[in-house]
Amino acid sequence: MDKRAKFAVCAAGIFVCYFFYGILQEKITRGTYGTQGEKFTHSLSLVFVQCLVNYAFARFVLKAFPEESPDTTRSAYYAVSAITYLLAMIFSNMALQWVNYPTQVVAKSGKPIPVMILGVLLGRKSYPLKKYLFVLLVVIGVALFMFKDGKSNSSQSDSLLGLGEILLILSLILDGVTGAVQERMRSESKTKSGHMMVNMNLWSIVFLSIALIGTGQIFEFISFVQRYPQIVVQLLLFSAFSALGQFFIFWTVSDFGPLPCSIVTTTRKFFTVLASVILFGNPMLTRQWFATIIVFVGLFLDSFYGKQPAKNK
């Protein structure tokens, strides 16, 4: 398959899978259950189920389509990338106790920046200046589109807002570390997507098992499922889209690197919001249309000029 066509397939897979993933995630976590309107609050258990299904799916893919070469990646890389990936999710979710969701989305849209910076600091060769400019253009456009006008009741939460911002900064740093470690895997061991997906999910299962047993949340989760067995179908569909989406993510990382992957996952949020505007007739401000143009210009420039090889020395 042509490299551009392969990247298009990967991007489309990420967009479609995580679109339905997001719908199911909101339905599970924000829905109510039973006559008393009980909420699902077992986030660690939800991620644990995800990782189990992801691991089983990755094992199946490796069996059906074995990698050509054996995996020589160091276990330490898988362990570090798994724990930073999990902690980044935990910190961004914890931040929602002190900042609103749009603030979190705007902050997380800057994910490509720490991926690039930490990739350079931890040993990846420097990116050309135009690459930074194109990625920054995409990030600015997404942030501008997501930004909500109007003044919230920030005055009453000023003392806590700092902690939320710190958590988001930590989450972004951990995203950067995850990307840098994955880049090191690719450069040192040519790690393939199947091996990466299997081992990262295996380490995630280990870490989450310790957390679930230590907090006792696993028993609360089992009790919740027994009370509301209808949630099992939602959990399975949610995990299935997660596994397929993660497959496309690791395929993108292994073949193109973590930076193109982070650009795709960042702009996915933008297109999800854009789709809701088109499908449900939500109005768009002039600023948001301007942001749309910025994002498409950034993507166009990066697609045609950001991947050009450096000149011969």
- The DSSP line for 147-164 is PPPS--SGGGGHHHHHHH
Query: Which residues are registered as beta bridge partners of 33?
Result: 38
Question: Is 148 in contact with 302 (CB distance < 8 Å)?
Answer: no
Q: What gap in Å lies between CA 174 and CA 81, rounded to an integer?
A: 9
Q: What is the pLDDT of residue 161?
A: 46
> By mean pLDDT, which of 29-33, 42-46, 244-248, 270-274 is the weakest?
270-274
pLDDT tens digit sequence for 160-214: 347 877 888 888 889 888 888 887 887 888 888 788 888 988 999 999 999 999 9
Q: Which residues contact 215 (CB under 8 A, 6 or more apart)?
A: 44
pLDDT tens digit sequence for 278-309: 655 656 678 877 877 887 777 667 666 665 44
Q: In what helix (H) or strand (E) does residue 85 lie, and over which residues does it extend? A: helix 75-95
pLDDT tens digit sequence for 57-104: 889 988 887 877 788 888 999 999 999 988 887 787 677 667 655 566
Q: What gap in Å lies between CA 257 and CA 249, rounded to an integer?
A: 10
Q: What is the pLDDT of residue 259?
A: 74
Q: What gap in Å lies between CA 169 and CA 108, rounded to an integer?
A: 9
CA dist 22 to 4, 70, 156, 248, Å? Answer: 27, 34, 31, 16
Q: Is the pLDDT of residue 154 over 50?
A: no
148 HSE (CA, 13 A, CB side): 11
Closest by CA position to 185, among listed 274, 102, 81? 81
Q: Is 165 left (phi over 0), alpha (psi -120 to 50) or beta?
A: alpha
Share of the chain above pLDDT 70, in %: 78
Q: Which amino acid would we find at residue 124? A: R
Q: Is the pLDDT of residue 128 over 90?
A: no
pTM of the model: 0.71
Chain centre distance of CA 124? 21
More confident residue, 288 or 239: 239
